[in-house]
Structure formats: C-alpha cells, structure tokens
Amino acid sequence: MASYNLLLLPGDGIGPEVMAEVKKLIDLFNKKGIAKFSYEEGLVGGACYDAHKVSITDATMAKAEAADAVIFGAVGGPQWDKVPYEVRPEAGLLRLRKDLGLYANLRPAVTYPALADASSLKRELVEGLDIMILRELTGGVYFGEPKTITDLGNGQKRAVDTQVYDTYEIERIGRVAFELARQRGNKVTSMEKRNVMKSGVLWNEVMTDLHAREFKDVQFESQLADSGGMQLVKNPKQFDVVVTDNLFGDMLSDIAAMLTGSLGMLASASLGEVNPKTQKRKALYEPVHGSAPDIAGKGIANPIAMIASFGMALRYSFGMGKEADMVDAAISSVLAHGLRTGDIAAKGEATVSTAEMGQAIAEEIETAAS
C-alpha cells in the first residue's frame, strides 16, 4: 500500500478547528487500509509568532520541503495586527509559497445543486457548475522589477510596477492547464490582454504553440481577460479550465468564487515543479478563506473548504482520484440531505457544528468505501 507523509499546519483562528475534520478523514483512510498516511503538525502564522517570534521556523520549512504534501489551515487575527511586518502571520504562508516554488494555483469553483440558490447568479446559470481557475502564482506584476515609487521633485510622484513573464513561466503553467483539462472537461481557455500588453502577446503565443505541439487533443481558445471576466458571470458553464497570469488570476478567481456562494466552501491547491528523480511535485493545499476571528473558538466554522482541499491533495498529489471523488460525493450528499453550517444556511434553517459536519462527511465516505 502506498504511504504518504503529510505536514499539517493548522495555523490560527478556525484553522485548527477545520483541520481537526481533515484528521478524521486521514484516520479513516488509514483504518480502512485505503492508504497509509503519516503526519506531523507544525506551527504557522500568529501561533508560531507567539511561540518563536517568527511566522514559520526553519525547522518547519525543512519539514515542508520533505513532505509529500502540506495541508494548511489559515493564519492571522487582530491580536497580531501590530507585530513587525516581516513576521506578520501571512509571511509564513508567503514563505511557504516562495520557498516551495508553488507557481500554479488551482481554484475550483463548484456549485453544489443543494446550494445553487446561495449564488448571486440565477440557479440555472450556476447549477452543476464545475470549473477550474488556474492562476500563475510566482511571476508577473506582483513580483516584477522595477517596483518603485519615485519622488519627481515637482510635487508629483511616479509609481512603477513591472509585468514580466519569460517563456518558461508561461509554458509550465500552460502545461499544468492542459494536463488538468485532460482529467476534466478537456477544454482550456487562456486569458490575457494581448490587445494592449506585450506580456499578453507572448502569453498567447506560448500557449498557442504549446497547444499545437503537445496538446492537440484538448480544445483550446483564447479570450481577452476583460471580456473573459464578463463571460464568467454571463455564462460560466462554457468554461472548464481557465488559465491566466497572477494579476488577472487574482481577480478572476475571486469572481468565480462568488458564483458558488460561501467562502467556507472554497478549496485550493498550489503546485510546484515535479522532481525528476522522485516524480513528486511540491504541493500545498488550503481553503481559500482566512482565520475567521469573528467565529473562531465557537465550533461553528464550515469545514467543507478544508476537507475539499484535502480531497484535492488526494487527486493531485497522491493519484487517488477515486477517493477524491468519494470526498466530493460525500460533501454533495450531506448538503443534499440538508446539513448546513451557519454560513450556508438559509434564514430559519437548522445548523450543525463544525464537528457534526465533518463527522457526517466522514460517515458518508466510510459507507462508500465499505
């Protein structure tokens, strides 16, 4: 039986509460003999600052480098608002992304039929929606140099950010997009602004070449990012995998997120290079939401985003597609049975706790696996 080594970083606020529900699934998979997971836990964010005065220690970074996957909760909270900038809670997450070279950010937008009315769009537009926004995460205008504000001396200042992409950066994210599409609906839509940006011209050229060279079996189209954003809210089901740069991806993934209803439902994965020796990819899985200080400690957070993130680890790090499908089906089923945490309950609807939701999902998986 395959065995995998996980690093769990629960973090702050509701992080540890939702991570507890992932541990239930790990225990279940181990008990059923489906896989052999071992895990270590580490501190990150404010919790790490309180203990070590940094947001992640070198020792934890070394464990993250060695792990088959990092499962991350959430970081931050008002009690750390005044800590020095370089050791603020988010710095721990940024260091993980940077040092592990996590250049591909996968954000699925899935609308469960039972929750289609929670979307800001009409039910018929989003019911059954299952798309993937793939964002380039380590390049582009957020990191390009020069990045400056210069005093022009005449009462004016000039701010410069630099959008920069090399061929290899576009090609490697494109390859992830086409490979993902082959496992899903077999369609890739690339979004950029080739009409006004040189980086958009190169982006489109590299994607088009890559498609022609290696992925002719996958349907491919390019859209300008602005009209692509419009299409995302007009007719989101036309998409399968949308691949785009860091800046546009930041915006388009948030737009896609709102198609699905609550923050408590949104999973994500960040992937790095494949190690040619081990054929393993560096990877971190985390819910999109933050540490939700307003509800932390109350046992009412929705664990679905965290559980679905673990499901993505099964699919993308461990090749356990069948088990990942089981996790998704279990989530869909408990929702169809009417289970709701407070964030996804309609007015007057009964709610369950974090632990009850996690338990119900684990029980569905256990039944499916027996």
Residues tagged active-site? 142, 193, 226, 250, 254
| Under rule CB under 6 A, residue 293 binds ligand NAD | yes
Neighbours of 362 (CB within 10 A): 18
Distance (Å, whole) CA 114 – CA 333:
9
| Under rule CB under 6 A, residue 295 binds ligand NAD | yes
Pattern of binders to ligand NAD over 26-65, x per CB under 6 A?
A: ----------------------------------------
Closer to ligand NAD by Cβ: residue 13 or 228:
13
Question: Which CA distances in Å does 83 have to 49, 69, 86?
Answer: 9, 29, 8
Site for ligand NAD in 340-369 (CB under 6 A): 343
| Under rule CB under 6 A, residue 264 binds ligand NAD | yes
Closer to ligand NAD by Cβ: residue 210 or 266:
266
| Under rule CB under 6 A, residue 193 binds ligand NAD | no
| Under rule CB under 6 A, residue 74 binds ligand NAD | yes
What tokens appear for 118 in the block?
């929670």
Beta carbons of 232 and 256 less than 8 angstroms apart: yes
**Distance of closest approach, residue 30 Cβ to ligand NAD, in angstroms:** 25
292, 312, 339, 361: residue in contact with ligand NAD (rule CB under 6 A): 292
Question: Which CA distances in Å does 335 have to 95, 111, 140?
Answer: 36, 11, 39
Beta carbons of 322 and 313 less than 8 angstroms apart: no
Closer to ligand NAD by Cβ: residue 34 or 133:
133
**Distance of closest approach, residue 59 Cβ to ligand NAD, in angstroms:** 21
| Under rule CB under 6 A, residue 22 binds ligand NAD | no
Site for ligand NAD in 78-97 (CB under 6 A): 90, 93
Distance (Å, whole) CA 199 – CA 204:
9
Distance (Å, whole) CA 196 – CA 198:
7
Beta carbons of 63 and 9 less than 8 angstroms apart: no
| Under rule CB under 6 A, residue 302 binds ligand NAD | yes
**Distance of closest approach, residue 120 Cβ to ligand NAD, in angstroms:** 15
From the list 23-31, 72-80, 98-106, 275-283, the region that binds ligand NAD by CB under 6 A is: 72-80
**Distance of closest approach, residue 365 Cβ to ligand NAD, in angstroms:** 20
| Amino acid at site 142 | Y
From the list 29-37, 144-152, 223-231, 287-295, the region that binds ligand NAD by CB under 6 A is: 287-295
Nearest CA among 136, 155, 159, 165 for reference residue 146: 159
| DSSP result, 147-193 | EEEEE-SSS-EEEEEE----HHHHHHHHHHHHHHHHHTTSEEEEEE-
Torsion region of 168: left, alpha or beta (phi above 0 gives left; psi -120 to 50 gives alpha): alpha
Closer to ligand NAD by Cβ: residue 211 or 282:
282
| Under rule CB under 6 A, residue 16 binds ligand NAD | no
Q: Which residues contact ligand NAD by CB under 6 A?
A: 14, 74-77, 90, 93, 263-264, 286, 289-295, 301-302, 305, 343
